[in-house]
Amino acid sequence: MATSMTKCQNCSKLANRCFYRLFSTSISQNAYANHTKESEKKTHFGFETVTEAEKEEKVYKVFRNVADKYDLMNDAMSGGIHRLWKDHFIRRMSPRPGTKLLDVAGGTGDIAFRFLNYVRSQSDFNSLTALQTSTEQGVDINEDENSQVSGRSRDCHVTVCDINQSMLEVGMNRATQSGITSGISWLKGNAECLPIEDNSFDVYTIAFGIRNCTHIDKVVEEAYRVLRPGGRFMCLEFSHVSNPLLRSVYDEYSFQVIPVLGQILAADWDSYQYLVESIRQFQNQEDFKRIIRTCGFRAVTYENLTFGVVAIHSGFKL
C-alpha cells in the first residue's frame, strides 16, 4: 500500500484517536506509535493493539471463520432485527430503475438482494399501473413501451465487493438458491483500494463492514472516487447509544451474551468477541459524520435506528 506523506499523517491521526478509546493502552504507546515505521504503525483489533499489517490479516481470518454461519449468527445476535435495519436502509435509499449500486463488504449479499427486489417490484408496479391506465383510457398497449419498462428494471445492477472470498461464495450460493441470475456481479477487492474506475457508480453502500477496515478515511475517499457526481454514499453501521441506561443494557448483552452464542452456534468465541469489541472502537455518529465531510461529501446526515445501536450515515458527491 503506497501512501503519500499526508495520507500517512492522516492514518496516524486516526490511529491516535482510536488509542484514546483503548482500555489497555497507556499514553506512552502513542509516542511510540509516532516514531515507528509505517508498516509497524499500531491500531486496534477489538480491544487488542496490533500493527496495521496484522489487522487486515486478522480481520480476514475472522470473516473466513464466520462466513458459513454469518447469516445465522446475525439472526441470533439481533433477534432478527438486522433484517428490519437493512429493509429500512434500502427504503431510505429508494432506488429507481436503472440505478447502479456498489455494495462494499457486502459478502453474503443481504443488501444486494434487497436492492434488486426493491427496484424490480417498483418497476413491476409501475408497468402494472401503466397497463391499467392505458386499459382504462382505451389506448392500445404499446408493446415496445412495456418491454422498455421491464428492460429498464433489468438495467439496475449491483456489484458486490468483498475482500473475503469465503463471504462472496456464501453470497453466490444464496443468489443461485433464490433464483437471482441477472443484475448482480461479484468482485473480490479491498475497500481501501477498489479495483474500479472513477465515477462509475450511482450509489455506494457499506453495511456493517466499515468498522472492520484498517483505514476508514481511505475507504470513504475511495467511495468518493468511484461515485458519479450526484452519487450517494450510504453506510449502515453499529454506533453509539447515548442513553446511559440503554447503553448499560446493550453493553451487558454484547459482552455476556453474544460471544456465548458464538461459541454455541459457531464454535468460535474469539471471532464474536472481536465483533463486539470492534463496535466499541468505532467512531460515534458525529465523528464519523465529520470524517465523511472531510473526504468531500456534502449534505451529510445520519439517522439513528434502535436508539443508536445502529446508524445510517449518508452523503452526496456534489
**What residues form the annotated binding site for S-adenosyl-L-methionine?**
108, 162, 190-191
CB within 8 Å of 122: residues ≥ 6 apart: 96, 97, 153
Distance of alpha carbon 162 from alpha carbon 212, whole angstroms: 12
Distance of alpha carbon 273 from alpha carbon 45, whole angstroms: 11
The answer to whether 183 contacts other proteins (rule: CB under 8 A) is no
List, in sequence order, every residue forming a beta bridge with 30; answer none if it has no partner: none
Indicate the DSSP class of residue 23.
S
The answer to whether 244 contacts other proteins (rule: CB under 8 A) is no
**Contact letters (x/-) for other proteins, 7-46, by CB under 8 A?**
---x------------------------------------
Please identify, using beta-carbon distances, which residue of 68 and 287 lies nearer to other proteins: 287
Please identify, using beta-carbon distances, which residue of 179 and 230 lies nearer to other proteins: 230
**Minimum gap (Å) between residue 96 Cβ and other proteins:** 4
**Contact letters (x/-) for other proteins, 61-80, by CB under 8 A?**
--------------------
CB 184 within 8 A of CB 116: yes
Distance of alpha carbon 232 from alpha carbon 145, whole angstroms: 29
Distance of alpha carbon 55 from alpha carbon 62, whole angstroms: 10
Strand, coil or helix: what is 117?
helix
Please identify, using beta-carbon distances, which residue of 243 and 301 lies nearer to other proteins: 301
Place of cell 473526504: 295
Q: What is the DSSP string of 240-280?
A: ----HHHHHHHHHIIIIIHHHHHHHHHS-HHHHHHHHHHHH
Applying CB under 8 A, among 12, 74, 271, 314 the residue interacting with other proteins is: 314
Applying CB under 8 A, among 44, 232, 240, 280 the residue interacting with other proteins is: 232
The answer to whether 91 contacts other proteins (rule: CB under 8 A) is no
The answer to whether 202 contacts other proteins (rule: CB under 8 A) is yes
The answer to whether 301 contacts other proteins (rule: CB under 8 A) is yes
Please identify, using beta-carbon distances, which residue of 188 and 290 lies nearer to other proteins: 290
**Minimum gap (Å) between residue 288 Cβ and other proteins:** 16
The answer to whether 274 contacts other proteins (rule: CB under 8 A) is no
Strand, coil or helix: what is 206?
strand
Interface with other proteins by CB under 8 A: which residues?
6, 10, 92-96, 98-100, 198-199, 202-203, 221, 224, 228-232, 294-296, 298-299, 301, 314, 316-318
